[in-house]
Amino acid sequence: MGITKSSIFTARQNKLANMLKALAHPARIAIIQHLVKSEACICGDIVQQMGLAQATISQHLKELKSIGIIKGCVEGTSVSYCIDEKVWLQVKKELEAFFISFKVKDGCC
């Protein structure tokens, strides 16, 4: 697989691609849905809910944290995760702008 030439794309295009890449896994979507529903969650709860290994969940959480869509704080010996509202709204804004830019036109296939 070739290397992506990210330098030829705008910062906004790269940012959107990175956000979508981090979201592009069904387990990550399920984790986000779980966090939205529960408002905050300890990693062990996510493991029980999802039925995936602790290490697998941790890797998915790491990817979601890398784009900032979730944040975690240590509570004793556990880490509690929640949606970062500021980043969540940025993702929503970027996706809305992306989809709104499309105008339906006649004449394509």
Residue 23 pLDDT greater than 80, yes or no: yes
Q: Is 71 helix (H, G, I), strand (E, B) or coil?
A: strand
Cα pseudo-dihedral 78, 72, 80, 39, rounded to 10 = -170
Domain ranges (residues) in the chain: 11-99
Averaged pLDDT of the chain: 88
Residue 102 is predicted with a pLDDT of 84
Give this prediction's pTM. 0.82
CA distance 20 to 16: 6
CA distance 36 to 27: 14
Least confident segment among 17-21, 41-45, 63-67, 82-86: 41-45
Return the CATH class of domain 11-99.
Answer: mainly alpha
